[in-house]
Structure 1
Amino acid sequence: MTKKRATNKPTPKTVLDKRTVADCTFDAIPVFDASGKQTGTVPNEAQAFYDIHDTHKDAPTGFRLRVNRSVKTYVLVQRVASKVKTVSVGRHPDLLLGAGVAPDRNARLVAAELSARLRRGEDINQTKREERLATQKSEVTLRVLFSRWMADYVASAKRDPRENTIAAVEKAQQRLGHKLLDTPADALTWRDLEVFFVDKATKKGHLTAAEQTIRWVSAVYNKENHRITLDALQAKSQPSLYANPAEIFIKTGALRNNAELERDYDKKGVRRPLSGQREHFRKWLDYVVAARDDLNKSRTGADYMLLTVVLGMRRNETAGLLWNDRLSKAPEPGHALRGYNFIDLDHAVAVLNVTKNRYAHRIPIPGFVLQMLRERRLLVGDSPYVFPRVSRSKLAKAAHYNDPRSFLDEVKKAIKVNFSTHDLRRTFGNIVTEMGLPDRLARQLLNHKSGGVVARYADQSLEQLRPVMEDVEDEMLAYATTSPKPKRERHFKTRSYA
């Protein structure tokens, strides 16, 4: 937007000198006679900038002093072809007038050089913008790009910042190290990243960590280029984007895709749903159910695992569960959009507001798990958590039970089957698939949102899902040698879910 001039009268003209420049003020516009002698001042009623035209014999055409409220600037106003161009020469007192001034600080000499470049057809303002951007870019390091990404992620009103995401970004920066992080963002090359990638993935054998780090580097560059593009659109100029040095890894297939990852996981024997072999899940179920009544074993760990597998939840969803009537005793969620995950025993439902995909999820609680939770309610006393912290270590950060690592190792050793906590959710997925549930229903139970608007309208209501969850629980408990499910009347029983 062009600033309004202080007056529509002709620009005052005089031979500019040190005293004239020093005496000019924003509130009073000097008046000169035909010979260039100052005869007085007039108030700057418009409170906008004004120019004084320099008539010195060495001044190029259009050389002026521009007086703003807080700064005095030498400018060059010249007609080039059919357009009038205004170019900033420099500020006073960075540039000066008079004899004895060094050429690079002499305002008239600098203006004369810019005038010659204008006549040759150079776009001075565009050149200055590019030089300014280049200077700014040289000061922006990869570390700065990570910081900007993180600040935007945390501050965004549309997001609920996740601790796992923040931790992943911090780990990526730790892996990159100070040398790469402190490299200017416009100077970092794909070869710099290749050295890091080969060292991390090949020499140290941490391929997955190396791939994740490269993907994070690509993400922060893309985010910065998006910001630059928006700023350029606002300014109606051409964006000066960064070359993304991580993009070549993705385009050349140097990073594994999902199918390749799955093949590698199969080879390494990770991601093992227990239901893959009936004998494995039977051993697991017998051991964990028995552990609930064994004083030498972890009741909390057993309940944690059983709840996770029967409801198909993620481990962090299970860990932070609260009782709905004790939410007032829970710590603040820490973000305006973050809610709580809680158990409502009265209505036999688990309500998940904090999920991986940010879609709220409600799960009907079937009979065996409902009885287990009622017993837990008596065990935990006044705690707002379904699974309160059991560790007495002062180093423990979480207020609730966070990870059944010791109990997990105990179970794996006892049943001689290797699995992870997340494999319990995969077990749930396998079983609902084996039961013949339609994909849309299986996705809904797992809170996998896909399929567009039509799929959302086709989602089942909570009460429609209740008999399905009862069937899922029955299917799982059928694996056990002795079914642990308490007797209850069944109102719904079907194997047809189409």
Structure 2
Amino acid sequence: MPSEKLTQRLVDALPSSEKTVMYFDQNLKGFGVYTTKSAKTYFIQARVNGKEVKRTIGKASLMKLDAARTDAREILAQMAKGVDPEEEKRQAATMALTLMQTFERYKESRQLKPRTIKCYDDLLNSYVKEWHDQPISSITKEMISQKHRDVGDKHGENAANNLMRTIRSLYNFAYILTDEKIAPNPVRRLSQARQWFKSERRQTFLKPHELQPWHQAVMQIENTVIRDYLLLTVFTGLRKQEGLQLKWASVNMRDRSFTITDTKNGKPHTLPMSNFLYGLFEQLQGRRTNEYVFPGPGVAGHLVEPKKQLDFIERQTHLSLNGVTTKDELDQVIEKAPDTILPGIKFCLHDLRRTFITVAESLDIPYAALKRLLNHSDGNDVTGGYLQITTDRLREPMERISTKLLELMQPQASSEAQLGNQ
């Protein structure tokens, strides 16, 4: 690298270069100008705390040599004291990141699923809007503790816990961005004070004696797309979105299998079709209107969560379980014998997944096959990580589960199950 006694005339006369050529100033160590094909740029190069640092001062076309040398001398003096002005500015900007700015950077640095982003958005917009423009580093333990209690009291304990888990993730991210220069995560207060709300894992599923009236109500749904979606879910144990977003490109009718590509653990999940499922897919294929197995009228193109139909099933089963067919008849029974009234079957879509696995477990299907059917991660199960259960090996257990579900959905199966529970 050439060293020159830089003058304005010399800088003006420097030729352009295909590659970067650096000219260091003999009068000011660490200062120089480099040329490229399109420009000449003043720069400084020095060591700061043992690390070599290079910073640009400005374009030679926009500033004179004397001005550049003055700026360089000032910056080099700070670097000699172990201070990098540019890094200080960057750190200051990072320290001032607001909660929502941190969230934007977090989304850019992670491969988050759309539903995860929506969940974070909903939590931050619903419960901490007043924190949006505050530096995330200004959120204190006291603020966290108070907000957690307030959201729990007004909106539910699950919402409060989920909000704080979201803030904890964002703060940990900011902690790394600032090279650990902000205070430790304030959400730790909830663990230290044992303030997290206890959330018991939901254990609800359709009992054997409920499957017949549930199935009867499902078959009364006028929308065949929704009806068949509910049947596919209970006969496969798929998660809600896995079924809603299933595409025909992932269905192999010749091989009698289908694949879920967007899964919770990131691993493609291929399942075989039982005879019942194959017939269901044949019916769905005959009504195909777009790329989705369960098409919908909205922008997404696929079915969305059928909440109205779940309410319909609850109402219909309320009638059938009490031996009537109309609301007027039910009102009469309630008036005569209110203590004998049975509630309708209220359920969420994930209950159908639990129903599937509960029926499967009752058939003594091997544990490894159960995990494979549900696409559960092996986690720390070293032995499980070596087991490779192919789709074909799941055909027999899938057929057995379908057979058992169909049996329980028949009227006589319901009667026998009720007798057995008495």
What TM-score comes out, normalization by structure 2 length?
A: 0.73
User: Does 1:304 pair with 2:200?
Assistant: no
User: Does 1:459 pair with 2:409?
Assistant: no
Tell me if structure 1 keeps the 8 A contact 2:95–2:182. Answer: no
User: Does 1:429 pair with 2:331?
Assistant: no
User: Does 1:219 pair with 2:191?
Assistant: no
Distance 1:282-1:382 versus aligned 2 partners, 3 A rule: closer
Tell me if structure 1 keeps the 8 A contact 2:144–2:187. Answer: no
Tell me if structure 1 keeps the 8 A contact 2:167–2:187. Answer: no
The CA distance in 2 between the partners of 1:468 and 1:73, in whole Å, is: 70
The CA distance in 2 between the partners of 1:429 and 1:167, in whole Å, is: 29
Deviations 1:423-463 (A, max 9, x none): 10011121222222232221111110215553243232222
Q: What residue is the counterpart of 2:321 in the other structure? A: none
Q: What residue is the counterpart of 2:11 in the other structure? A: 25
- The alignment yields a C-alpha RMSD, in angstroms, of 4.2
- One-letter amino acid of the counterpart of residue 273, structure 1: F
- One-letter amino acid of the counterpart of residue 209, structure 1: A
The CA distance in 1 between the partners of 2:93 and 2:127, in whole Å, is: 23
User: Does 1:143 pair with 2:100?
Assistant: yes
Q: What residue is the counterpart of 2:306 in the other structure? A: 404
The CA distance in 2 between the partners of 1:210 and 1:419, in whole Å, is: 23
Distance 1:381-1:185 versus aligned 2 partners, 3 A rule: closer
Tell me if structure 1 keeps the 8 A contact 2:234–2:356. Answer: yes
Q: 5+ residue gaps in structure 2? A: 15-19, 318-343, 414-422
Q: What residue is the counterpart of 1:474 in the other structure? A: 403
- One-letter amino acid of the counterpart of residue 376, structure 1: L
Between the two proteins, the alignment pairs up a number of residues equal to 376
Structure 2 counterpart of 1:193, from 127, 138, 144: 144
Identity of aligned residues (%): 20
Distance 1:25-1:254 versus aligned 2 partners, 3 A rule: farther
Tell me if structure 1 keeps the 8 A contact 2:145–2:190. Answer: no
Q: CA deviation at 1:470?
A: 1.1
Q: What SS does the aligned partner of 2:259 have?
A: strand
- One-letter amino acid of the counterpart of residue 92, structure 2: T
User: Does 1:252 pair with 2:192?
Assistant: yes
Q: Which has the larger radius of gyration?
A: 1
The within-5 A match list for 1:123-142 is: 124-126=81-83, 128=85, 131-142=88-99
What TM-score comes out, normalization by structure 1 length?
A: 0.63
Deviations 1:29-76 (A, max 9, x none): xxxxxxxxxxxxxxxxx942322538xxxxxxx8x9755555557999
Q: What residue is the counterpart of 2:217 in the other structure? A: 287
Q: What residue is the counterpart of 1:376 in the other structure? A: 284
- One-letter amino acid of the counterpart of residue 237, structure 2: G
Structure 2 counterpart of 1:348, from 256, 263, 266: 256
User: Does 1:173 pair with 2:112?
Assistant: no
The CA distance in 2 between the partners of 1:253 and 1:146, in whole Å, is: 26
Tell me if structure 2 keeps the 8 A contact 1:215–1:246. Answer: no
Q: What residue is the counterpart of 2:240 in the other structure? A: 315
Q: What residue is the counterpart of 1:50 in the other structure? A: 24
The CA distance in 2 between the partners of 1:136 and 1:425, in whole Å, is: 47
Tell me if structure 1 keeps the 8 A contact 2:7–2:65. Answer: no
User: Does 1:272 pair with 2:272?
Assistant: no
Q: 5+ residue gaps in structure 1? A: 13-19, 29-45, 55-61, 99-105, 155-160, 229-238, 328-341, 485-498
